[in-house]
Structure 1
Amino acid sequence: MKNLITFICISFFCMLSISAQHNEAAREKIKALKISYLTEKLNLTPEEAQKFWPIYNAYDQEQQALRSKQRSELKKSLKNSDEVEALNETDAEKLVMLKLSIDRQLHESQKDFVSKVKQVISFKKIIQLHVAEMEFGRKLMSKYRHKKD
């Protein structure tokens, strides 16, 4: 019996590990596709790319961390959507203030990114970057929706 429980536990952790590795591999694949897509759309020279990508990667990582923090705080406060009704006004105010604070940090991160990246690429390419990021997101979501059907 003890061996069976051990086997089940090991199997469970192996499945979790494989699932986590699959998710990480999928994220890395999407990141590679995004880099390729943005490089093509921006038509970066090798010199621009060499300077641009470290700045962009740091910015993207910061943006993702802030959004993740926002989601996790919201999830922590609201276990399910019915709990919004159960929130007291003080907790709701804290959540709204947290959202505004993170939104402000996201905005500051964007301003910092633009001030750094304008040294490397033109303002026109900064606009092209913004448009290309939106297009990539739309294409990714479209592909994801079609895959679910």
Structure 2
Amino acid sequence: MSAQDKQGSKEKIKALKISYLTEQLNLSPSEAEKFWPIYNTYSKEQYSLRNILRSEIKRAMIEGDINSVSEKEAEKLIALKLDTDQKIYESQNDFINNVKKVISYKKIVKLQLAEMEFGRKLMSKYKHRKSDSKN
């Protein structure tokens, strides 16, 4: 898959997610106008935090082998993971504090459930596509 195909795929998934979440949350036009900028900022921050951790783990391994990581490097990775988890928590807390001014707590819970469901549906579709391409 080329970089352009990957980017197109990411954009398609993002559009599907926006549509799915909007439908699940039943956002009014006024809510949507205020919600999406807050959500998009939060999503980018979450992605960035997780991506930094993933990159560092990949960088530490030689050819994807965890056994190639020294004990000292593993200790650094664990410290980075704990620090990242703390930043993710703080980001989630900030997001909820900002978004509760726009949507109800009930819709925040619906959002969390809808995000999980979207992820499950996406993984299910991906698994089916992979198994179909093997046949």
When the two structures are superposed, what TM-score results if normalisation uses the length of structure 1?
A: 0.85
Identity of aligned residues (%): 59
Once the 2 structures are TM-superposed, how far is the Cα of residue 81 of structure 1 from its aligned partner?
Answer: 4.4
Tell me by how many angstroms 1:80 deviates.
3.5
> Structure 1 residue 110 and structure 2 residue 92: aligned?
yes
Task: Extract unaligned runs of 5+ from structure 2.
Answer: none
Alignment of 1:24-103 (within 5 A): 24-82=7-65, 84-103=66-85
Provide, for residues 36-83 of structure 1, a one-character-per-residue CA deviation record: whole Å limited to 9, x for no partner.
00000000000000000000000000000111111000000012343x
The runs of at least 4 consecutive aligned structure 1 residues that moved more than 6 Å come to: none
Counterpart of 2:110? 128
Q: Deviations over 1:94-114 (max 9, x none)?
A: 110001001111110000000
Structure 1 segments unaligned to the other structure (5+ residues) = 1-17
Q: Is residue 19 from structure 1 mapped to residue 2 from structure 2 by the alignment?
A: yes
Given residue 96 of structure 1, which amino acid in structure 2 is its aligned partner?
A: I
Cα separation, 1, equivalents of 2:41 and 2:35: 10
Q: Matched residues in 1 for 2:38 and 2:88: separation?
A: 15
| Contact 2:35 2:102 (8 Å CA) reproduced | yes
Shift of 1:86: 3.6
Which is greater in Rg? 1
Work out the number of aligned pairs and report it. 131
Distance in 1 between residues matched to 2:14 and 2:64, nearest whole Å: 31
C-alpha separation in 2, matches of 1:142 and 1:121: 29
Aligned residue number for residue 140 of structure 1: 122
Provide TM-score, normalisation by structure 2.
Answer: 0.93
Letter in 2 for 1:91: E
CA RMSD, Structure 1 to Structure 2 (Å):
1.2
In the TM superposition, what is the alpha-carbon distance from 1:145 to its structure 2 partner?
0.3
